[in-house]
Chains A and B, each alone.
Chain A
Amino acid sequence: MSMSNEDRLIKRDRMRYIKNKPSANLAYLAILLDVIYFVSIYQSDVETWYYRWIIGVSIVYNLIFMLAAFLSSEGVKNYQKNYTYIELALGVIQFVRIFILPVPAHNATLTVGDVTIQVMHSAQFTLCVVCLIASGVCLIASGVINYIKCNELAAHMKTLENQNA
């Protein structure tokens, strides 16, 4: 059903008082998916394969990611355009992260005694990749929605200002 001009106008006007919850919720979901990803990685115990500097960096990055994503969720909730760019950057990095830990771990094998084992089984690999992709998509979607809404709200506010002038 198409929206009338008045409905469209009211929908825009509502943004003055209603927070951008869809964007904020997508950011929260991205954090949740990232948590599932790193819990899956950190519970892995395959000899000493994971005991490298990259794990330390991963831990620090996860902390930074959660903080930045949470702050962004609060920012986009209040229609702050700058947080769009942070979310887009965080989203893209989530895709890149697939190639930093999951892919090398999936490709790596270890020989324990006489048995050769795969460091990351396909099921865990799939889970990690899905979580990172979904997390990245959520952040990018959150950023894009916020960007569009910010522009709509700015235009609406300008119209109101002109009407009041």
Chain B
Amino acid sequence: MATLSLQHIDKIYDNNVQAVFDFNLDVKDGELIVLVGPSGCGKSTTLRMVAGLEDISNGHLFLDGKDITQTPAKDRDMAMVFQSYALYGHMTIYENMAFSLTLRKENPNVIHKKVLAAAEVLGLTSQLNKKPAQLSGGQRQRVAMGRSIVRNPKVFLFDEPLSNLDAKLRGATRREILLLHKRLQATMLYVTHDQTEALTLADRIVCMSMGHVQQVGTPLELYDTPNNVFVASFIGLPPMNFYDVKVVGGELQGNGFKVSLTAEEKATLAGYEGKEITLGVRPENFTEGSDIKVTVTNNENLGMNTLVYGSVGNTGVKVTAKLKGWKNYKVGDTASFSVTRKHFFDKETTNAIRGGK
């Protein structure tokens, strides 16, 4: 397998539109990196630059320490799995999986062994004589993966491979990709706009916005200690609640509510006394308490949890709380919440405020 290093990579199109700005990333051998971000953030462009399908405007790309910035796509020894599967409809699954090796004029017996081995891994052995049209979306995506596996590439690239699947299949195929990664121990770069995929699959996540890398870290790091408001709002479902608050004494004063601070939080916000900051609270960090009084606008029971939507008094400040258990708030009821975990962001830079930093 392989290590991959992206150093100061920019993508500037002919019309001077810059899609990627100074992208830096070191991918370890066998690591599964997920590039996540909203549409148009440059994640697919980055992946295509790694694959060699787009030119790299500035910067360097290294594979196993070798500079492959100018190497054509066919010589990069990488395999890409596309959202649209890109299977040949007139060929059987076996022929589709064997195709790249046939083009390389490999020994047919070797091809046969590799295809059967890949089919076994992916549970496609009984489907080998079928045509792609006879398979479900999830199976087709597995064929696309199988086609990559038989090539035994140094790096696997996935460009939103699950986007064409329905929710149930997406979950199942996601688990299969994870198992595949564990089995192959391959270096993988995976692009998605779905944070659930990112959180469940990644060894590390690269969160992107507007062509810039916002944060690189483990799923827990991105969830628990987001670098800025963008990452905090993008990671987590339902998204984090944000409030403009003022740091006054030992508490935060917001529009219609006050929240007290712990000693540790006071220390973190020592330099912000009297200033406005952005308070971030994840819905799951609300509990029934007494700090914030909320007029309930909606109550959604999810079984294990209840999503309570509301606004602080009559201020219009929105609150989304995810409470444990089954709750039965009616529209117009007043609910009282406490906050168990707070995130602080500088209002001007939107960067996280952390103690000791």
Contact surface of A with B, Cβ cutoff 8 Å: 7, 10-11, 13-14, 16-18
The total of chain B residues at the interface (CB under 8 A) is: 10
Scoring B residues 102 to 118 as 1 if CB is less than 8 Å from chain A, else 0, what string do you get? Answer: 00000011001101000
Known A17-B128, A17-B129; judge A11-B109 contact (CB<8 A).
yes
CB distance from A5 to the nearest CB of B (A): 12
Contacts of B58 in A (CB 8 A): none
B231 to chain A, nearest CB (A): 47
Which residue of chain A is the closest to B116 with respect to CB atoms?
A13
Interface class of chain B by DSSP: helix
| A6 to chain B: closest residue by CB | B109
Evaluate contact between B108 and A14: CB separation under 8 angstroms: yes
Q: Is B92 an interface residue (CB 8 A)?
A: yes
Q: Can you spell out 5 A-B residue pairs with CB atoms less than 8 angstroms apart?
A: A10-B112, A16-B128, A16-B129, A17-B115, A18-B94
Is there contact, CB below 8 Å, between B109 and A14?
yes
Q: Which of B96-137 contact A (CB under 8 A)?
A: 108-109, 112-113, 115, 128-129
B131 to A: closest C-beta gap in Å: 12
Q: Enumerate the 4 nearest inter-chain pairs by beta-carbon distance, A residue then B residue, closest first.
A: A17-B94, A10-B109, A14-B112, A17-B128
Interface SS of chain A: helix, strand, loop or mixed? helix
Q: Specify which chain B residues have a CB less than 8 angstroms from the CB of A11 in the assembled complex.
A: 108-109
Alpha-carbon distance between A30 and B129 when the two chains are bound, in angstroms: 28
| Interface flags, B219-239, vs A, CB<8A=1, else 0 | 000000000000000000000
1/0 per residue, CB under 8 A from A, across B128-171: the answer is: 11000000000000000000000000000000000000000000
Q: How many A-B pairs with Cβ below 8 Å?
A: 21
User: What's the least CB distance linking B109 to chain A, in Å?
Assistant: 4
- Residue of A10, A11, A13, A16 contacting most chain B CB atoms (<10 Å): A10
| Nearest CB of A to B279, in Å | 61
Contact for A7 among B92, B94, B109, B129, CB less than 8 A = B109
Least CB distance from A98 to B in Å reads 38
Give chain A nearest CB distance to B92 CB in angstroms: 7
- From residue A113, how far is it (CB to closest CB) to chain B in Å? 58
Q: Which residues of B contact A18 (CB under 8 A)?
A: 94, 108
- Which residue from chain A places its CB closest to the CB of B129 in the assembled complex? A17
A10 to B114, CA, bound (A): 12
Q: Are B129 and A10 in contact (CB under 8 A)?
A: no
A13–B117 alpha-carbon span in the complex (Å): 13
Q: Tell me the complex Cα distance, A7–B128, Å.
A: 21
Distance between Cα atoms of A13 and B111 in the complex (Å)? 12
In the complex, what residues of B have CB within 8 A of residue A10's CB? 109, 112-113
Q: How far is the CA of A16 from the CA of B127 in the complex (A)?
A: 12
**Chain B: minimal CB distance from A4 (Å):** 10
Which residue of chain B is the closest to A7 with respect to CB atoms? B109
Q: How many Å from the CB of A21 to the closest CB on chain B?
A: 11
Q: Closest A residue to B92 by CB, please name it.
A: A17
Smallest CB-CB separation from B110: which chain A residue? A10
Q: Which A residues touch B109, using CB under 8 A? A: 7, 10-11, 14
Closest to A17 in B: B94
Known: A17-B94, A17-B128. 5 other contacts (CB 8 A): A11-B108, A14-B108, A16-B128, A17-B92, A18-B108
The minimal Cβ–Cβ distance linking B166 to chain A, given in whole angstroms, is 29
Chain B residue numbers with a CB within 8 Å of A7 are 109
Residues of chain B lying within 8 A (CB to CB) of residue A13? 112
**Alpha-carbon distance between A7 and B113 when the two chains are bound, in angstroms:** 11
Residues from chain A with a CB closer than 8 A to the CB of B128 are 16-17
- Bits for B179-201, please: 1 = Cβ < 8 Å to A, else 0: 00000000000000000000000
> What is the bound-complex CA distance between A18 and B93, given in angstroms?
11
Assembly CA distance A18 to B92 (angstroms): 9
In the complex, A16→B94 CA distance in Å? 10
Nearest residue (CB) in A for B108 is: A14
Q: How far is the CA of A13 from the CA of B115 in the complex (A)?
A: 12
A3 to chain B, nearest CB (A): 9
Give bound CA distance, A18 to B102, whole Å.
12
Complex Cα–Cα for A11 and B94 (A): 15
Q: Please, how many angstroms separate the alpha-carbon atoms of A18 and B109 in the complex?
A: 12
Contacts of A16 in B (CB 8 A): 128-129
Residue of B nearest to A18 (CB): B94
Most buried by B among A7, A11, A13, A18: A18
What is the CA–CA distance of A164 and B128 in the complex, to the nearest angstrom?
A: 19
Q: How far is the CA of A7 from the CA of B107 in the complex (A)?
A: 11
Query: Which chain A residues lie closer than 8 Å to B115 at the CB level?
Result: 17
* Whole-angstrom distance between the Cβ of A157 and the nearest chain B Cβ: 13
Residues of chain A lying within 8 A (CB to CB) of residue B108:
11, 14, 18
